[in-house]
Amino acid sequence: MWALVVELLLGSLFLACVVNQLGSSAWERWAVRIDCINLLPHWGFFAPEPGHTGNHLVYRDLGPQGWSPWTEVPIPGQPATRWIWNPARFERKALLDLVNGFTKAQPIYKEIDAIQLSECYLAMLTWVMAQEMSNSVSSARQFAVIMSTGHGPARTLRVALVSNSHAIDRA
C-alpha cells in the first residue's frame, strides 16, 4: 500500500517537473500558487551547469527629454518544438556566455579599473549599440544586465551590471 502511494507521489512529481519545463502560462499560474516551497525546477538543461536564473540585457537612450524607458534586447521566444529544433538558442546562449564571462573577468578588470575593456563588456556594448534607436536625436546609450529567478508573480529581479553611458556615433 505504501509503495503505491510513494510511486504515485514520485510519478506525479516527475510529471510536474516535465510539464514545468514547457513554459505554459496557465501551468505557471497554477504552479506558483501550489509550489510555495519552489520544489519544481525551471532550468536550462543545456547550459554548462543547469541554471535556474534568466539573464536579460536591457538598454536605454539619452535624448533631449532625458532617459528613455529600459528596453530589452529582443531574443526570440522558445517554441514548443525547441527540444527538436531551436535556432533561437544562439542569442540566449550568447547572452549566458557573455554574462558568465563578465562575472569571471570582473575581479581582474576591477583591480586595474578597466572593466569597460573586458571582452564580454565590449561584446555586450556592441550588441546593444546595434539595436534600433528609440529617438533619432539620442546622444548616448546605457545598458544593464538583469537576472531573474523564479517564474510568474513570484519572480524576483536583480541588477547584475549597469554600464556607463556611451556616446552614440552617428558617422
pTM higher than 0.75: no
Identify whether residues 146 and 73 lie together within a single domain: yes
Same domain, 32 and 116: no
Say yes or no: 130 and 78 in one domain. Answer: yes
- Is residue 60 located within the same domain as residue 96? yes
CB atoms within 10 A of CB 4: 8
Do 149 and 91 belong together in one domain?
A: yes
Q: Which residue has the cell 534607436?
A: 133
| Cβ partners under 8 Å of residue 156, min gap 6 | 148, 149, 150
* pLDDT score recorded for residue 143: 93
Per-run averaged pLDDT (10 residues), the chain, 171 residues: 89 82 74 70 55 81 89 78 70 82 73 74 89 81 88 81 84 62
75-103 burial, b if ≥16 CB within 10 A, otherwise e? beeeeeebeeeeeebeebeebbebbbbbe
Domain count, the chain: 2
Range of the domain at 25: 1-42
Specify whether 27 is located in the same domain as 84.
no
Which pLDDT value is given to residue 58?
Answer: 93
* Residues 109 and 152 placed together within one structural domain of the fold: yes
